[in-house]
Structure 1
Amino acid sequence: MANDPNNLASPIDDGLTAEDLGHVYFIGVGGVGMNGLARLYATRGIASSGAELTDWPNLPELERQGLTLHRSHGVDNLDGVDTVVRSTAINDDHLEIRAARERGLRIMHRSEALAAAMTGRKSIVVTGTHGKTTTTAITVQMLAHAGLDPSFVNGGEMIDSYTGGHGQGEYFVAEADESDRSFLRYRPFISVVTNIDADHLNVYGSMEALEEGFARFARHTDPEGVSIVCADNAGTAALAEALRREGRRVMTYGVSADADVTLSNVTSGRDGIHYDVSYQGHDLGTVSMGMPGKHIALNSAAAVATGLAIGMEFSDIAKGIGAFSGVKRRFEKRGTVDGVAVYDEYAYHPTSMREAIATLKEAARPGRLIVVFLPYRGYRTIQMRPELAEALSGADAVVGMEIFAPGEDIPEGNGGDVLLDAVELPDEAKVFEPEWDEVPRRALELARDGDLIVTMGAPPVSLLPDRILEG
């Protein structure tokens, strides 16, 4: 394995397994990406430890699984360690990376450690600009319900499970991150691409380069496997056409009439979603889920296609998907205070925000929807300001926070207040609150009995619902 965590554009072919890595140490082990991988290693019985400064709620579970948790960074944390795993956010100047180099320890990017864990399994790797976490979770639930006992690593925690886990079955389901090109490290048996929309252009430089990145990911798919691609998104529809021209195996899904797996009669309401499924013109039956949102239906259709691709019976597919209880931070109800429902939602890309806000407004009726929004990253907030403002304009009221941008300097005149100014709502329905401790009070001041408050955006905002529920 190329021991260069900054070289993320080449697939890994050295056959290393997780067991070959010895004692593994995870820097920033509580983060959404690292947590699932660390939990997989711990549940697989591999000696694991890690450091985390933020008091994330997932940490006690990691310790229960046997991971040794350090609440500060330091060179002593590396005693007895063989392999150090880091994310793209951890640079060469980090004190533990410097110490690991001095000690001659193996240093791996998260994607390398994930690839090692997938060695010897049939991997189902899910990517896309948005929707990949929910799609991954639904696929895991579908396989598990059918008794296939998959291993998995996901970017979000399932309501009735966790972000990662070791199974005894032949399949390994993983969410893959396109933001830093690390999805190019994998060689999937089945690749899934949910959509391709403009994002992370600071890394790729252009939309054309982003599209080529997704194409390279799909081309790494095992020749015996298949690429599963959404037919309803312009970027993925073009990808499917290009892959077919190259003679590669492709299965498409969507409401589009020419999709291989076609959804029809899609309905969404408070009781959830329902849709009929056909495969290459042959009616298969109906899928029902307890979660509302037509975008959730589309995510689940990717799981339907995956199940069909590996030879599952449609009845087992539908039962597994129907048992799905949701992903934390995806349309997650956290409680009620003074007649106001409080939800949490991860969406931070304009497309997923529009979809989430539309679904949440359905849930809020006849009350109003109040969005507490924490913008994610300065460069993307500036690039996407018009689209973000348009999405937020679909709410009834917005509490805007300052941009969450660790390691970035926000150019003067481009903060969260400028984004909020662009939201097309009456002035009395818009509140900019840069002080974290004041946000719960400002949100509750806007709300009245029967309304719905949702915290939305960058990961730390998920810590606010409990504060809001305290009143």
Structure 2
Amino acid sequence: MKTLENFQNFYFVGIGGIGMSALARYFNASGKNVLGYDKMVTKLTSALVSEGIDIIFEDGITEKIQNLNPDNTLVIYTPAIKKLDILNHFNDNGFTVLKRAKVLGMITEKTDCIAIAGTHGKTTTSSLVAHLCREAKLPFSCFLGGIAENFKSNFYFNGDSISVVEADEYDRSFLQLSPDWAVITSTDADHLDIYGDKETIEKGFRDFADLVPSGKQLFVRKGIEIGRDAKTYAVNEEADYYSNNIREVGDQIEFDFHSSTGNTEHFSWEIPGIHNVENATVAIALLNDFGVDFETLQRGIASFQGIKRRYTKYRFESGKIYIDDYAHHPTELNAVIGSIKTFYPHKKLLVVFQPHLFSRTRDFAEGFAESLEAADELILLDIYPARELQENFEGIASQWLLDQINLDKKEFSTLDQAFDKIKEKEFDVLLTVGAGTIDTLSDGIVEWLQKYK
């Protein structure tokens, strides 16, 4: 097997994916020739093009593809991609073709790797760990599953001694990594199209935990049974590391962090949500064990700007609040809606939710219904299919889910009609939530609410 240094050309099939684009940026920053294909133009692909990466948006064998030499070209693809003529061409003509996870794993083999895993919370936690590494001036690179506001990117390079990676459980990708330090934030059932049941996904996380060598560090959310020694962390309950006394002071969230040595340190930041304090708790614990002092960590926490679409909050002169979030699992919805209800208990909440995947909607319909019943009013959008075909999920549709939600004020809407429906509603807090294309509503909503009297 060739090493990554043997290749000069890197072709990404599905380059617009959040994980794929981070890898593309890594090789582009390393001076390699990076090219790729994706099925549609997005903000992310446009950003890659502006960075000098050549991208096509039609599945065809271009002259540039024909001119690539199999001896010095590595082809990287995502398992979400179905069969394509481009991928067939590479497979049929002697190119080295690897999954994204394999390539990321090859990078982590050469570094002191900090890997953040979990069905929820891993993007915020990995981005925060990376931000704290930069604050501490550590020689690291990071590969994130979201756009970190501090980096304006899902990739950042400040050296290659340390890698901070979001360890993706989809397709068991995280088992390709070589973690020296690791975090497991949650092991809730998800991706049942891959794992089949909750017990199997829990075994997947135990297998990931076993990759962390003895003598290094494994941090696990208290209550998760991982089958080996680990340090625990929690919020509002005692653990090896925990935070409590969470309060909102103006626009700041303040909390007290308790270390395993019994020390208590005060932290303050602008990131709302109790679940985000939990993410901060393990990031602080890990970096402090890594040798970073609390003064640096306090400065880093205070300057962390969050992740695009992770509880992104806007306040307006009218008093209305708008929150946009990526949550697409019942546990994530509970965390977001629960935080809103905690900090704004007397405000009327309108939720606009776009389910993500027919399989996830089917597998967690009861959980989605229970989560969404906490809203005061609900607009439910069409299911975003991503890689799935509706004909394979007969009877699974948004109306089917809506019928299971015990809420007086609820209705279905297409994405195209949603903005007009929102403008007709009375609310104090608006939450748009989902992992599909619902993010296309946010710019219009912000512009409208800025003018709202």
Shared fold (TM-score, shorter chain, > 0.5): yes
SS of the equivalent of 1:373 reads strand
CA distance in 2, matches of 1:79, 1:224: 49
Q: Identify the residue that residue 137 of structure 1 maps to in structure 2.
A: 127
Which runs of 4 or more aligned residues in structure 1 lie more than 4 Å from their structure 2 counterparts after TM superposition?
Answer: 334-341, 361-367
Q: Identify the residue that residue 5 of structure 1 maps to in structure 2.
A: none
**Retained in 1: the 8 A contact 2:384–2:436?**
no
Deviations 1:13-57 (A, max 9, x none): x8x34x333211112222222222222222232221112233321
Question: Where does 1:168-179 land on structure 2 (aligned, <5 Å)?
Answer: 168=159, 170-179=161-170
Whether 1:458 aligns to 2:435 is yes
Q: Identify the residue that residue 418 of structure 1 maps to in structure 2.
A: 400
Q: Identify the residue that residue 389 of structure 2 maps to in structure 1.
A: 408
**Retained in 2: the 8 A contact 1:189–1:221?**
yes
SS of the equivalent of 2:403 reads helix
Q: Identify the residue that residue 305 of structure 2 maps to in structure 1.
A: 325
SS of the equivalent of 1:220 reads coil
Q: 2:418 aligns with which of 429, 439, 445?
A: 439
CA-CA distance at 1:112 after TM superposition:
1.3
Q: Identify the residue that residue 78 of structure 1 maps to in structure 2.
A: 65
**Retained in 2: the 8 A contact 1:251–1:305?**
no
**Retained in 2: the 8 A contact 1:335–1:469?**
no
Unaligned runs of 5+ in 1: 2-13, 245-249
Deviations 1:329-384 (A, max 9, x none): 11114686987544320011111111111223466676422221111111121111
The 1:31–1:460 alpha-carbon spacing in structure 2 relative to 1, beyond 3 Å, is: farther
Q: Identify the residue that residue 228 of structure 2 maps to in structure 1.
A: 243
Whether 1:110 aligns to 2:93 is no
Deviations 1:67-104 (A, max 9, x none): 1122322222524441221111113x221110101221
The 1:337–1:78 alpha-carbon spacing in structure 2 relative to 1, beyond 3 Å, is: farther
CA distance in 2, matches of 1:275, 1:383: 36
Whether 1:294 aligns to 2:260 is no
**Retained in 1: the 8 A contact 2:236–2:244?**
no
Q: Identify the residue that residue 23 of structure 1 maps to in structure 2.
A: 9
CA distance in 2, matches of 1:280, 1:313: 14
CA distance in 2, matches of 1:40, 1:165: 8
CA distance in 1, matches of 2:52, 2:108: 21
Quick one: which amino acid aligns to residue 442 of structure 1?
Answer: K
**Retained in 2: the 8 A contact 1:267–1:294?**
no
The 1:30–1:146 alpha-carbon spacing in structure 2 relative to 1, beyond 3 Å, is: same
CA distance in 1, matches of 2:365, 2:394: 15
CA distance in 2, matches of 1:158, 1:453: 23
CA distance in 2, matches of 1:175, 1:458: 17
**Retained in 1: the 8 A contact 2:109–2:177?**
no
Question: Where does 1:356-367 land on structure 2 (aligned, <5 Å)?
Answer: 356-361=336-341, 367=347
CA distance in 2, matches of 1:337, 1:401: 28
Quick one: which amino acid aligns to residue 398 of structure 1?
Answer: L
Whether 1:53 aligns to 2:39 is yes
Whether 1:204 aligns to 2:195 is yes
TM-score between both structures, scaled by the size of structure 1: 0.87
Quick one: which amino acid aligns to residue 142 of structure 2?
Answer: F
Whether 1:390 aligns to 2:375 is no
Quick one: which amino acid aligns to residue 208 of structure 1?
Answer: E
CA distance in 1, matches of 2:318, 2:60: 45
Q: Identify the residue that residue 326 of structure 2 maps to in structure 1.
A: 346
Q: Identify the residue that residue 10 of structure 1 maps to in structure 2.
A: none
Whether 1:260 aligns to 2:237 is no
Q: 2:210 aligns with which of 205, 216, 219?
A: 219
Quick one: which amino acid aligns to residue 194 of structure 2?
Answer: V
Quick one: which amino acid aligns to residue 458 of structure 1?
Answer: A
Unaligned runs of 5+ in 2: 449-453
Deviations 1:90-140 (A, max 9, x none): 13x221110101221111111112123334211111110100000011101
Deviations 1:175-203 (A, max 9, x none): 01112111111110111100111212232
The 1:321–1:447 alpha-carbon spacing in structure 2 relative to 1, beyond 3 Å, is: same
The 1:262–1:458 alpha-carbon spacing in structure 2 relative to 1, beyond 3 Å, is: closer
SS of the equivalent of 1:422 reads coil
Quick one: which amino acid aligns to residue 406 of structure 2?
Answer: E
The 1:269–1:415 alpha-carbon spacing in structure 2 relative to 1, beyond 3 Å, is: farther
Q: Identify the residue that residue 27 of structure 2 maps to in structure 1.
A: 41
Q: Identify the residue that residue 154 of structure 1 maps to in structure 2.
A: 144
The 1:339–1:312 alpha-carbon spacing in structure 2 relative to 1, beyond 3 Å, is: closer
SS of the equivalent of 1:26 reads strand
Whether 1:180 aligns to 2:174 is no
Quick one: which amino acid aligns to residue 466 of structure 1?
Answer: D
**Retained in 1: the 8 A contact 2:330–2:367?**
yes
Q: Identify the residue that residue 451 of structure 2 maps to in structure 1.
A: none
Query: Could you tell me the percent identity over the aligned residues?
Result: 30
Deviations 1:238-276 (A, max 9, x none): 11xx212xxxxx222113755221223233466232222
CA distance in 1, matches of 2:249, 2:411: 30
Whether 1:126 aligns to 2:116 is yes
SS of the equivalent of 1:316 reads helix
SS of the equivalent of 2:145 reads coil
CA distance in 2, matches of 1:395, 1:354: 11
CA distance in 2, matches of 1:103, 1:169: 33
Structure 1 window deviating more from structure 2 (147-156 vs 73-82): it is: 73-82
Structure 1 window deviating more from structure 2 (336-345 vs 189-198): it is: 336-345
Aligned residues: 440
Please give the root-mean-square deviation of Cα atoms over the aligned residues, in Å.
2.3
Question: Where does 1:4-15 land on structure 2 (aligned, <5 Å)?
Answer: none
